[in-house]
Amino acid sequence: MSDTKGSPPQNLSRRSLLKAGLAAGAVAGSAGAAKAAGDPLITEVQDWNRYLGDGVQARPYGTPSEFESHVVRRDVEWLTASTESSVNFTPLHELDGIITPNGLCFERHHGGISEINPADHRLMINGLVDTPLVFTMEDLKRFPRENRVYFLECAANSGMEWRGSQLNGCQYTHGMVHCVMYTGVPLKLILEEAGIKTNAKWVMPEGADASAMTRSIPMEKALDDCLIAFKMNGEALRPEQGYPLRLVVPGWEGNMWVKWLRRIEVGDEPWHQREETSKYTDLLASGKARRFTWVMDAKSVITSPSPQAPVTHGKGPMVISGVAWSGNGRITRVDVSIDGGRNWKTARIDGPSLPKALHRFYLDIDWDGSDLLIQSRAMDENGYFQPTKNELRAARGENSIYHNNGIQTWYVKADGTVENVEVS
């Protein structure tokens, strides 16, 4: 960009810099700053500083800078047989703070993305209710609504890492999680509107997509903090996230957050659907399976440095950053180790600390340029500590895919490259 167009103002600006005493010697001391003194990016007027830019309305719906085009969701082609029943991953290694931008929230579909005109969308409540009801989107938007920030984690997040380190990037190992602010109507209000019978103990949300996703949810949870959401981060849900309506089941596995929500059946027992029998159950070493493992336990991961975010700046100040979350409430502490779990330091949690939402943590270190084995472990408000992978395997065997919240290790090498390894 800097080697284009003419150069009339360059001498002038260089002279004024010299006059101001800002050239060479004045900034000696730091390699970066000394170089900057002769840097054409400092001494020459750049195009973006010389020509008018696009006016308003050139970008009626804004998109990120072209220089951020590498920050995208990515999939792993060999993981699934088709893209319609598949997953892609949030680029966690490029993000900061606790909110995931809408266009970067990972996608998990079992039958592709339904494209639904909200005018044609209906939500039905039936089963053990006094009055079966059908709502239009307009009807739903007349109920009192709430705004709440929650993470959504697929139960299969990190599933490929059960038996050992496998996928080389935080995006791939941990990117089936996102965190946005939802706007929606408490499910409780909709159930009250229909009136639930005294023997009603469970609800079953159903999707309008080709997979017609269904799960059984106990009534206590339905009446507690579930939302019927139509907005994320202030704007309408994206089609990938269930536009125009999705169920939000805070802290519980992503599979229950039915997208394109079209029906809620009320019953007196669980339905034993595919997604809670053959899938989303954990086969233990004994041959028995754990089921109804709804809550996503406390977990954390260092997002940078990580394999896709190597260290490029050499020795000296280094920001280690990551995210932590718990389906049981707030994160109260995150520890970081740079020596494979021998010694731990308490990281700094920065930004809002909201229950069942991502938390952002930092450990600011002075890197001596030697190899590091970096790990993070989260603790939630119930005193639960994120386990090591060995502890997890001791409890659940090696058959599992779901609910891997074990401690992740990244091997930072002296040259700054980073690799996914396991130290348990």
Contact residues: Co ion, CB under 5 A: 108, 154, 254-255
Reading phi first (left if > 0) and then psi (alpha if -120 to 50, else beta), residue 344 is in beta
Interface with ligand MTE, residue 44, by CB under 6 A: no
CB 52, min distance to ligand MTE, A: 40
**Rounded-to-integer distance, Cα 59 and Cα 56, Å:** 7
Cα within 13 Å of Cα(18), Cβ side: 7
- Contact range with ligand MTE by CB under 6 A, out of 96-104, 252-260, 319-327, 329-337: 252-260
Looking at the Cβ atoms of 158 and 255, the one nearer to Co ion is: 255
Q: In what order do the strands lie in the sheet with 299-304?
A: 299-304, 316-325, 359-367, 348-350
Residues 6+ apart with CB under 8 A from 33: 27
CB 105, min distance to Co ion, A: 13
CA distances from 229 to 135, 181, 250, 339 (A): 14, 10, 12, 43
**Rounded-to-integer distance, Cα 191 and Cα 130, Å:** 10
- Contact range with ligand MTE by CB under 6 A, out of 166-174, 180-188, 256-264, 353-361: 256-264
**Rounded-to-integer distance, Cα 415 and Cα 353, Å:** 35
| CB-neighbour burial class of residue 322 (10 A; exposed 0-12, middle 13-18, buried 19+) | buried
Residues of this chain, 95-124, that bind ligand MTE according to CB under 6 A:
105-110
Looking at the Cβ atoms of 255 and 388, the one nearer to Co ion is: 255
- SS3 assignment, position 4: coil
CB 98, min distance to ligand MTE, A: 16
**Count of helix runs (H) and strand runs (E) in the chain:** 9, 23
Binding mask 190-229 for ligand MTE (x = CB under 6 A): -----------------x-x-x-x----------------
Please report which helix (H) or strand (E) contains residue 189, including its range.
helix 187-194
Looking at the Cβ atoms of 82 and 198, the one nearer to ligand MTE is: 82
CB 80, min distance to ligand MTE, A: 12
Query: Which residue in the set 91, 175, 244, 254 belongs to the binding site for ligand MTE (CB under 6 A)?
Result: 254
Interface with ligand MTE, residue 281, by CB under 6 A: no
CB 121, min distance to ligand MTE, A: 13
Interface with ligand MTE, residue 263, by CB under 6 A: no
From the list Co ion, ligand MTE, none, pick the one residue 396 interacts with, judged by a Cβ distance below 5 to 8 Å according to partner type.
none
Interface with ligand MTE, residue 282, by CB under 6 A: no
Query: Which residue in the set 162, 172, 257, 325 belongs to the binding site for ligand MTE (CB under 6 A)?
Result: 257
Cα within 13 Å of Cα(357), Cβ side: 19
Q: Are 407 and 375 in contact (CB under 8 A)?
A: yes
Residues 6+ apart with CB under 8 A from 163: 398
Looking at the Cβ atoms of 241 and 420, the one nearer to ligand MTE is: 241
Interface with ligand MTE, residue 150, by CB under 6 A: no
Looking at the Cβ atoms of 152 and 423, the one nearer to ligand MTE is: 152
Chain-centroid distance of CA 337 in Å reads: 23
Which tokens sit at 359? 């938390």
Token match 């502890």: residue? 391
Interface with ligand MTE, residue 172, by CB under 6 A: no
Q: Are 324 and 377 in contact (CB under 8 A)?
A: no
- SS3 assignment, position 418: strand
Position with the least CB separation from ligand MTE: 207
CB 170, min distance to ligand MTE, A: 17
Looking at the Cβ atoms of 169 and 305, the one nearer to ligand MTE is: 169
Q: Are 170 and 303 in contact (CB under 8 A)?
A: yes
Query: Which residue in the set 260, 362, 410, 411 belongs to the binding site for ligand MTE (CB under 6 A)?
Result: 260
- Contact range with ligand MTE by CB under 6 A, out of 119-127, 255-263, 284-292, 415-423: 255-263
Interface with ligand MTE, residue 252, by CB under 6 A: no
Chain-centroid distance of CA 224 in Å reads: 23
| Binding region for ligand MTE (CB under 6 A) | 105-110, 152, 154, 178, 207, 209, 211, 213, 240-241, 254-255, 257-260
